[in-house]
Structure 1
Amino acid sequence: MTGSAPEGTHVDEPHAPGLAQRLNWLRAGVLGANDGIVSTAAVVVGVAGATSEVMPVFLAGSAALVGGAISMALGEYVSVSSQRDSEHALIEKERGELRADPEGELAELVGLYKKQGLSPETAATVAAELTAKNALKAHLSAELNIDQDDVVSPWNAALASLIAFTIGALLPMATILLVPHPTRIPATFVAVLLALAVTGYVAAWIGGARRGRAVVRTLIGGAVALGATFLVGTLFGTTVA
């Protein structure tokens, strides 16, 4: 066995402490980047479809970037805060039950291990040993699948989302502002779709889903969003003209 994995585990399996925290900010980052790419690209492509001037595109894109990044960060903070509060409430509830009825809680733990397939004797032994070591941790894991030392942080999720959204939004902004007018919209389409393919792949990797299907789904959604806003911008520009 090589690497730093705990004894009895594989190096490439997620047994390290703080896994929920890392997956939390990684998930928030991927979603933030995806939203930053799509929403900002939709705005700048739509405006570029209505005008060939650079300044309106820059102003609209900047507003979309700032507003979207703040909105994503606030949304992540509120959502993860609710999850954290629920987890803390469950932890306190379990702690109170252990104080009020330790014998009943031990019997409950034995029953849970028996339901998992352990023999009555083994379940009783495992429950007794884990209770002696850390009763609260044993109950939180068996009953609620919660690790009291790895409760997700809303601040981490909000910061990851804010930074990722900003980085994602800068891609379509830079492309459509730096590429010359005749080709800037097609170039933005290509850059955005390539970036969405990456975020779709990473999101599928995090969730253990099929990569190809996730990439195709993300690409289709991004293409539809860009096509729709470009059409609206083109129609609006034609009408104004």
Structure 2
Amino acid sequence: MVGPTHDNEPHAGGINQRLNWLRAGVLGANDGIVSTAALVVGVAGATTATPAILTAGVAGLVGGAISMALGEYVSVSSQRDSEHALIAKERRELKEMPEEELDELTELYRQRGLSEHTARAVAEELTAHDALGAHLQIELGIDQEDLVSPWQAAISSAIAFTIGALLPLLAILLPPEAARIPVTFVSVLAALAVTGAVSARLGGAPWLRATLRLVIGGALALTATLVIGMLMGTTVA
């Protein structure tokens, strides 16, 4: 039976799916950059002790990567379960009401601009070749040979977050003590500008607005945690 079309969803396959995965990777890296940078800058505002900053940064990196992986695994698992349910439903309908399903497929192609005669011919030919595949593709945008993998999504998210988190962690640890926070600010904001432009490009949005939005948000996050860290450091001292 007719269901919602999802031609633009990640499971549509092809180049759109690859772009969606790449966009998700960029966003995961962004999360790693901002969350870890905010954490280490906040700690650096409270103390200059390298072990404390390193411990906070590594803990934030590991915890964030695991959290991202778990969230993505649960989300994609739910999507995959839904896809399997839709496939089973379509398979059952094809077995129980083949003529109605053929009429439905014909109508779907007719709605896409084909004449009644051509739509019927295409529907009959596709049904003879692979009825289930034809219905899944035109009705639901699902390719049963290319279903999303929860494990792949989880691992990809964890890797993207880790790569992003490494930048502020190295930026806060490698420079001399007096330059730690300025170097981290500059490095993080430059990285956010790059990832903002890339994500906007992948999404077909104006790059300047997306980049400014991300850079300003990152600057506010770093400033807020730095101020809190300085206040906490003063209070503790």
The two structures share one fold, judged by TM-score above 0.5: yes
Q: Secondary structure at the match of 1:175?
A: helix
Amino acid at match of 1:230: L
Tell me the alpha carbon deviations over residues 80-134 of structure 1, each in whole angstroms, 9 at most, x when there is no partner. Answer: 1111111111111111111111111000011111122221112111111211221
Q: Distance in 1 between matches of 2:153 and 2:17?
A: 9
**Aligned positions, number:** 225
Q: Distance in 1 between matches of 2:209 and 2:123?
A: 42
Q: Secondary structure at the match of 2:197?
A: helix
Q: Distance in 1 between matches of 2:81 and 2:23?
A: 19
Q: Distance in 2 between matches of 1:202 and 1:131?
A: 41
Indicate how the Cα distance of structure 1 residues 151 and 19 shifts in structure 2: closer, same or farther if over 3 A, else same.
farther
Q: Distance in 2 between matches of 1:227 and 1:115?
A: 54
- Consecutive unaligned residues of structure 1, counting only runs of 5 or more, are 1-16
Contact 1:21–1:151, Cα closer than 8 Å, also in 2: no
Amino acid at match of 1:133: H
Where does residue 216 of structure 2 map in the other structure? Answer: 220
Q: Distance in 2 between matches of 1:52 and 1:219?
A: 26
1:201 is displaced (CA, Å) by: 2.3
TM-score normalised to the size of structure 2? 0.89
How do residues 1-241 of structure 1 correspond to structure 2 at under 5 angstroms?
A: 19=15, 22-23=18-19, 25-241=21-237
Amino acid at match of 2:184: T
1:213 is displaced (CA, Å) by: 2.3
Q: Secondary structure at the match of 1:117?
A: coil
Runs of 4+ in structure 1 displaced over 3 angstroms? 17-25
Contact 1:24–1:152, Cα closer than 8 Å, also in 2: no
Contact 1:45–1:229, Cα closer than 8 Å, also in 2: yes
1:28 is displaced (CA, Å) by: 3.5
Contact 1:25–1:156, Cα closer than 8 Å, also in 2: no
TM-score normalised to the size of structure 1? 0.88
Contact 1:21–1:153, Cα closer than 8 Å, also in 2: no
Q: Secondary structure at the match of 1:190?
A: helix
The Cα RMSD (Å) is 1.6
Q: Distance in 1 between matches of 2:42 and 2:173?
A: 14
- Consecutive unaligned residues of structure 2, counting only runs of 5 or more, are 1-12
Q: Distance in 1 between matches of 2:152 and 2:14?
A: 12
1:24 is displaced (CA, Å) by: 5.2
Q: Distance in 1 between matches of 2:16 and 2:113?
A: 26
Amino acid at match of 1:197: A
